[in-house]
Amino acid sequence: MAVQRFEDLIAWQKARLLAKSIYFLTGTGRLGGDLRLTGQMRSSAVSVMANIAEGFERQSIRDFHRVLGIAKASCAELRAELYVAADAGLVGTDEFTQALRQAEEVGRIIGGLRRSLASRIESRKP
């Protein structure tokens, strides 16, 4: 079945779950008290799913590929912020590991989608 909407993309679905997890994580415990870091983490997580949606809706494979690169970079930014939270003792080891694994999975899925789009772009060259 062909993807008709960005909501059909596994990358977007997983990014949505990641954003939900980050909102939960940043709203609890010691991390919830660091408004600057939690705001940045939330922004990064939302950026991942928003960029996937935006890129899909641009109706251009090249634009979608480019914007997925931005989404992947936001995923890396979130991972870096998770390290800051862990190093500062604001999240526990289990919370950190779970969120990091989730962000890594989303990054891998986005990377796979980018590779697929790149091969489609390459096959269209004269």
Mean pLDDT of the chain: 95
Instruction: Tell me the torsion sign for CA atoms 97, 80, 119, 67.
Output: positive
Give CATH for domain 9-121.
1.20.1440.60
Percentage of the chain with pLDDT > 90? 87
What's the pLDDT at 126? 63
Over the stretch 17-70, which tens digit does the pLDDT of each residue have?
Answer: 999 999 999 998 899 899 999 999 999 999 999 999 999 999 899 999 999 999
Q: Which two tokens stand for residue 121?
A: 């772009």
What's the pLDDT at 32? 86
pTM, full prediction: 0.93
Ordered by start, the domain boundaries in the chain are: 9-121
